[in-house]
Amino acid sequence: MRNIKEIAQLSGVSKSTVSRVISGSGYASQEARDKVLKVIQELQYKPNAVARAMVSQRTHNIGVLIYRREYPVASHPFYGKILDAILASASSMNYSVFVTTDHEMSLRSADFMLEKRVDGLILISRLEQNVIDHIGKFGVPYIMVNGSTDVPGVIHIVNRDQNGGLEAARHLSGLGHRRIFMLAGPQSHRSHHLRLEGFRAYMNGQRAEFGDSDIAYLLASTFEEGYRMMKEHWEHFRSRSYTAVFGTNDMIALGAMKFLMEHSVSVPGQVAVMGFDDNDVASILTPSLTTVRVDTEKMGRLACVMLDKLIRHEPVEETAVELEPQLVIRDSTRRF
């Protein structure tokens, strides 16, 4: 393969001069510059990033680690969106991105990145303490996005889920709904937990009746599980004459909505359905889903910008960024 030495010989200068021309720093006469650039152009020479990384101790690569038990991961309607945003931002900042997905939270996939000497790491979704400790030991800067653990000192970007839950409750209450059934995703996951808490806080604040019997706890935050739990609680649901369902994410809500529609329950005519996240499917469905929007685009962008600062040892103002979610009213909810 072509290298800088070959360019140097062909243009009749030393490799030092070639290096200077390429980097643009240091002195190089116009004459030398022209000769070198001409040869580079002719040979279609591209500097070897591996060698560069070797000496500069900077790879200009960042790693994105997504842990998720269920498929899909990259094409996941929520995590995939964050990934998309990261890819776009990173590219505009001249970083290349290693993407690793894993189903168990093993140290292996973390090591995979660490060996490759990435400049920084973006960790998406919940992470266990030992993985964080492991990564921390390496001195590689990292940022957590939408993580579950509140490890002190770890820089993380999250959605203000509690507020979102509160907004959802306010919206449904405002429409006149008094009996609301909640499908709550795994409470070990920060988002689902806080969304429930926010919702509960509003209801309690309003002295509205909302207690443990109004909540179904799901084992997964999937469409199937939403459908399954709606089915399982169907008798209960009818006997208590609920008029609304709130799922702690869109897929859950969509699963519930599918069950309802299969049982000829009109949405939103008889029962209003509301989700959280605002993924692409939410707006596509008939009826389109009222939801609380999480700004995944900003999450990804901020993650890149902040990680870049960490990498360049610039000061980072905040250790925790919380993004405000936004109520998106569509067709699946209406005044009761």
Partner DNA sequence: TTTCTCTGTGAGACCGTTCCCATATGAGAT
Partner DNA sequence: ATCTCATATGGGAACGGTCTCACAGAGAAA
- Interaction site with DNA (CB under 7 A): 1-5, 12-17, 19-20, 22-23, 25-32, 45, 47-48, 51-52, 54-57
22 vs 201, beta carbon nearer DNA: 22
84 vs 322, beta carbon nearer a second copy: 84
Cα(263)–Cα(76) distance, rounded to whole angstroms? 28
Asked if 88 touches a second copy (CB under 8 A), the answer is yes
201 vs 265, beta carbon nearer a second copy: 265
Residue 313 C-beta: closest distance to a second copy, Å: 16
Nearest CA to 325 out of 149, 130, 112, 161 is that of: 161
| The pairing of beta strand 120-124 with beta strand 61-67 | parallel
Part of the chain binding a second copy (CB under 8 A), chosen from 14-22, 95-103, 208-216, 318-326 = 95-103
Q: Interhelix angle for 30-43 vs 15-23, to 10°?
A: 90
Residue 304 C-beta: closest distance to a second copy, Å: 14
* Partners of residue 180 on adjacent β-strands: 244
Both tokens of 257, joined, read 């909505």
Task: From the list a second copy, DNA, none, pick the one residue 281 interacts with, judged by a Cβ distance below 5 to 8 Å according to partner type.
Answer: a second copy
Instruction: Give the contacts of 159 (CB within 8 A, at least 6 positions apart).
Output: 146, 191, 294, 295, 299, 322, 323, 325
Task: From the list a second copy, DNA, none, pick the one residue 304 interacts with, judged by a Cβ distance below 5 to 8 Å according to partner type.
Answer: none
209 vs 280, beta carbon nearer a second copy: 280
Task: Work out the burial of residue 327: count CB atoms within 10 Å of its CB; fewer than 13 is exposed, 13-18 middle, 19 or more buried.
Answer: middle
Cα(257)–Cα(281) distance, rounded to whole angstroms? 13
Asked if 171 touches a second copy (CB under 8 A), the answer is no
Q: Name the DSSP class of 290.
A: B
Instruction: Spell out, one character per residue from 220 to 249, where the chain touches a second copy: x when CB under 8 A holds, - when not.
Output: ---x--------------------------
Asked if 313 touches a second copy (CB under 8 A), the answer is no
Residue 182 C-beta: closest distance to a second copy, Å: 21
The single residue listed with the structure tokens 């980097």 is: 23
Cα(104)–Cα(100) distance, rounded to whole angstroms? 12
Cα(76)–Cα(68) distance, rounded to whole angstroms? 10
Task: From the list a second copy, DNA, none, pick the one residue 32 interacts with, judged by a Cβ distance below 5 to 8 Å according to partner type.
Answer: DNA
287 prior amide bond cis, ω within 30? yes
Asked if 280 touches a second copy (CB under 8 A), the answer is yes
Instruction: Give the contacts of 22 (CB within 8 A, at least 6 positions apart).
Output: 4, 36, 40, 47
Cα(271)–Cα(266) distance, rounded to whole angstroms? 6
145 vs 194, beta carbon nearer a second copy: 145
> How far, in whole angstroms, is CA 316 from its chain's centroid?
20
Asked if 47 touches a second copy (CB under 8 A), the answer is yes
Residue 84 C-beta: closest distance to a second copy, Å: 5
Task: From the list a second copy, DNA, none, pick the one residue 76 interacts with, judged by a Cβ distance below 5 to 8 Å according to partner type.
Answer: a second copy
Provide the binding-site residues for a second copy, judged by CB under 8 A: 44, 46-51, 53-54, 59, 61, 71-77, 79-81, 83-84, 87-88, 91, 96-102, 109, 111-117, 137, 223, 254-255, 257-258, 261-262, 280-281, 284-286
